[in-house]
Amino acid sequence: QITGDPGGLASALRHIEAYAKQIPMAVNPAAAQLAIVNPLSGSRRPPLSGLFSTHPPTEERVARLSQLQI
């Protein structure tokens, strides 16, 4: 009930992540947690960045949303 449409939200998360990977972002690593998806994904990702992540990886979020669709 919270998302209204889990499939739509999962699709939006996939699109946002794909877009974020295509366009290089000059982001201060200290501000990366403010983004919907990790703007530092890929080779520019600082070591140990997973220790400070505030959200699960997009794949895990999409998997959880797909479980809501019954």
| pLDDT tens, position by position, 19-42 | 877 776 777 878 877 877 777 765
35-56 burial, b for 16+ CB within 10 Å, e for fewer?
Answer: bebbbbbeeeeeeeeeeeeeee
Encode pLDDT of 1-11 as tens digits.
566 888 899 99
Please state the pTM of the whole predicted model. 0.60
Both structure tokens of 11: 């699709």
What residue ranges do the domains of the chain occupy?
A: 6-68
What secondary structure does DSSP assign to 1-69, as a single string? Answer: --SS-HHHHHHHHHHHHHHHHHS-----GGGGGGSSS-TT-STTPPTTGGGG-SS--HHHHHHHHHHH-
**What value does the mean pLDDT of the chain take?**
77
